[in-house]
Amino acid sequence: CAVGILDVDLCGPSIPRMLCVKKTEVHQCDAGWVPVYADPKQQLAIMSIGFLLEDSNEAVIWRGPKKTALIGQFVSDVAWGELDVLLVDTPPGTSDEHLSVLENLRKHRVDGAVLVTTPQAVSTGDVRREITFCKKTALKILGIVENMSGFVCPHCSECSNIFSKGGGEELAKLTGSVFLGSVPLDPHLTATLEEGQDFLQAFPESSTYTAISQIVNTLLSSLDA
């Protein structure tokens, strides 16, 4: 399965660090920019503004038109090759980045959006507005994921609800959306992301692994349907 990840969180590009490819340069070919590959078999292609910054601490202070132009380049001028899935990671909210991605991808088949919330009402309120955005732009909602849903103790593996639980599922019911599942706070997951390691290979027996796998399988099944 060939997957592309397009990171359009222009002011906070985190994908390169999470996949341990943050010091890689982008090269040109006849077809455009060559994406950065996170694996030797070149099955996971990535493009992010993080690869274009000389200093990782540099702030991206751009107005809307410049953001729109770069996102257009990311979609049309990157030599993605044949992909089975293109995953677009956007910042929170309903800003220029979201509109630009939709406008540039309209000529392709857009399957829909996966919305991520935490259990608290402050977060579900923000995601409710994102649902409104999807409906106004005729973007299908593939489902809602509840992140930080409880805390998994690294010693006994017991899950405690530090914040609350069920906000994402309740939001899905209220808005008629599919609830894809919950992902708990897991120190092991945090550590592997910080270090650019593969959590699924490192902790295949964890409850977090099971939760993520179920969400992915449900999502892929809906795309194949």
> What is the residue-averaged pLDDT of the chain?
90
What CATH number does residue 64 fall under?
3.40.50.300
d(C-alpha 198, C-alpha 212), whole Å: 13
The answer on 158 and 209 residing in a single domain is yes
Chain-centre distance for alpha carbon 195 = 18
Q: Report the pLDDT averaged over residues 27-38.
A: 92
Single out the residue in 76, 110, 144 at which a domain terminates: 110
Domain that holds residue 21: 1-110
The answer on 153 and 201 residing in a single domain is yes
Whether the per-residue pLDDT at 5 is higher than 90: the answer is yes
Single out the residue in 54, 83, 110 at which a domain terminates: 110
For tokens 């593996």, what's the residue? 157
For tokens 């906070």, what's the residue? 12
The answer on 116 and 102 residing in a single domain is no
The answer on 212 and 160 residing in a single domain is yes
User: Tokens for 55?
Assistant: 């200093």
What pTM does this model have? 0.90
The answer on 210 and 160 residing in a single domain is yes
Beta-carbon-side half-sphere exposure of residue 174 (alpha carbons within 13 Å): 12
The answer on 115 and 137 residing in a single domain is yes
d(C-alpha 44, C-alpha 34), whole Å: 12
The answer on 138 and 41 residing in a single domain is no
Number of structural domains (the chain) is: 2
User: What are the tens digits of pLDDT across the range 47-106?
Assistant: 999 999 888 788 888 888 999 999 999 999 999 999 999 999 999 888 889 999 999 998
